[in-house]
């Protein structure tokens, strides 16, 4: 029995579909290649800080591939880099609008992309749009609750909006200061073995005194975490430096509140911490600089009969600081040369 021949019309239709599909695939491939070419050129301009030329290339890339998420993201980042926070003029406003438009489009295409969410949140932050920025930073935390770096990002965001150290606002809501503190503490709770978390919150308390009308408790809160770091690693020169600066800061800033004896005790604690930091790492420049500050601003004032000696020592420490900085710069230069050789 003979086999029936296929319907010629179906064969022609199928052939047309295959030809069109192949043609569309080839066009798609070519478009993607062109998009990638412009995208790579744009990235080079972006890396070199040539943001206007980068914008031109990112926009061309998007003509060929309108779904290229990273092109939208870095288009937004390019406009963001040209934007000047706080400057109120039509040109600057337009840059902000274009940055937001591009970053929102990237977020619309890929709402689960952490880098895109961070870029958009950062733009809202630059515009001082606290509510929208906060939503995005908290979204990152929801997506990656085990990434400790995300807690630092959120805490530092809140810290930028802290105008004091009150924990509750007039409306009864948590203040940015309190939210920042909670983030740092939450990180420590989730990863208590990491000393990095202790370093961040100690620094937070040390810096917070600059905006507080009653700073004394914050110096004391900070020293708790400096000491915890040193309990874990007594030979940590960086932690010793931080403790020395903290003790100096409390005595110096509260000199009208604390007694002379209390200030002297703090000065001695600062001296001991800085001295140990220098002994542990003689190549570490910063302890020398702070020892000079301690001698000039605190020890010479508290012991005027020894002021001349302390001033001379301060000059000597500055000379050691400059020598250590030169050695540090030379070491870095040699390391860069070695990396280049490899």
Average pLDDT over residues 308-332: 95
| Structural domain count, the chain | 3
Neighbours of 185 (CB within 10 A): 15
CA distance readout (Å), 22 to 13, 15, 19, 212: 14, 11, 5, 68
> CA 205, 172, 153: angle at the middle one, nearest 5?
40
User: What residue has token string 């507080």?
Assistant: 212
In a domain, 158, yes or no: yes
Q: Is pLDDT of 24 > 60?
A: no
Residues 207 and 277 in one domain: no
CA distances from 307 to 158, 187, 273, 298 (A): 42, 44, 21, 10
Q: Is residue 284 part of a domain?
A: yes
Are residues 254 and 306 located together in one domain of the fold?
yes
What pTM value is reported for the model?
Answer: 0.81
Q: What is the DSSP string of 23-90?
A: HHHHHHHHHHHHHHHHHHHHHHHHHTT-HHHHHHHHHHHHHH-TT-HHHHHHHHHHHHHH--TT--SH
Q: Is the pLDDT of residue 7 over 90?
A: no
Query: Looking at the domain assignment, is residue 62 inside a domain?
Result: yes
Sign of CA dihedral 229, 231, 236, 238: positive
- 165 SS3 class: coil
Give me the pLDDT at residue 165, please.
83
Cα–Cα distance for residue pair 61/76, rounded to 1 Å: 14
71 to 66, 68, 328: CA distances (angstroms):
9, 5, 39
SS3 content of the chain, % helix, strand, coil (to 5): 80, 0, 20
> Given 232, 262, 281, which residue is the final one in a domain?
232
Q: Of the candidates 155, 216, 156, which has an alpha carbon nearest to the alpha carbon of residue 185?
A: 155
Kindly state whether residues 244 and 339 are assigned to the same domain. yes
> Is pLDDT above 80 for 70?
yes
What confidence score (pLDDT) does residue 56 get? 97
**Domain membership of residue 66 as a residue range:** 30-114
Average pLDDT over residues 145-165: 93
| Segment 259-279, tens digit of pLDDT | 999 999 999 999 999 999 999
Q: Which of 192, 204, 265 is CA-nearest to residue 229?
A: 192
Residue 136 lies in a domain: no
Residues 52 and 67 in one domain: yes
The single-letter DSSP state of residue 306 is G
Residue 190 shares a structural domain with residue 268: no
77-130 tens-digit pLDDT: 999 999 999 999 999 999 999 999 999 999 999 999 999 999 999 999 999 999
Among 97, 114, 131, the domain-final residue is 114
291-to-134, 248, 272, 273, 309 alpha-carbon distances in Å: 40, 10, 10, 10, 13
Q: Which two tokens stand for residue 311?
A: 């001033």
Sorting pLDDT into bands at 50, 70 and 90, what band is 5?
very low
Closest by Cα among 65, 58, 57, 56 to 33: 65
């Amino acid at each position: 029995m003979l086999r029936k021949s296929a319907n010629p019309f179906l064969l022609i239709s199928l052939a047309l579909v295959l030809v069109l599909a192949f043609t569309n695939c080839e066009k798609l491939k070519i478009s993607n290649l062109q998009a990638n070419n412009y995208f790579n050129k744009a990235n080079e301009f972006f890396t070199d800080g040539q943001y206007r030329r980068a914008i031109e290339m990112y926009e061309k890339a998007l003509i060929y591939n309108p779904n290229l998420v990273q092109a939208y993201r870095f288009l937004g980042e390019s406009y963001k880099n040209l934007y000047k926070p706080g400057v109120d003029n039509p040109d600057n406003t337009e840059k902000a609008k274009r940055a937001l438009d591009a970053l929102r489009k990237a977020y619309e295409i890929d709402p689960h992309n952490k880098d895109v969410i961070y870029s958009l949140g950062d733009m809202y932050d630059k515009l001082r749009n606290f509510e929208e920025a906060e939503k995005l930073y908290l979204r990152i935390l929801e997506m990656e609750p085990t990434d400790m770096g995300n807690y630092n990002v959120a805490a530092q965001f809140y810290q930028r909006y802290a105008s004091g150290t009150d924990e509750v606002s007039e409306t009864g809501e948590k203040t940015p200061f309190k939210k920042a503190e909670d983030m740092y503490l939450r990180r420590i709770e989730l990863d208590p073995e990491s000393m990095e978390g202790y370093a961040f919150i100690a620094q937070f308390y040390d810096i917070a005194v600059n905006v507080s009308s009653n700073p004394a408790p914050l110096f004391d809160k900070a020293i708790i975490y400096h000491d915890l770091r040193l309990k874990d690693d007594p030979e940590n020169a960086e932690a010793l430096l931080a403790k020395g600066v903290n003790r100096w800061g409390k005595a110096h800033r509260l000199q009208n509140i604390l007694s002379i004896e209390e200030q002297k005790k703090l000065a001695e604690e600062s001296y001991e911490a800085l001295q140990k930091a220098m002994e542990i790492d003689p190549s570490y420049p910063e302890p020398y600089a702070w020892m000079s500050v301690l001698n000039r601003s605190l020890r010479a004032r508290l012991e005027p009969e020894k002021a001349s000696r302390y001033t001379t020592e301060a000059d000597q420490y500055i000379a050691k600081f400059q020598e250590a900085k030169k050695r540090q710069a030379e070491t870095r230069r040699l390391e860069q040369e070695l990396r280049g050789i490899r």
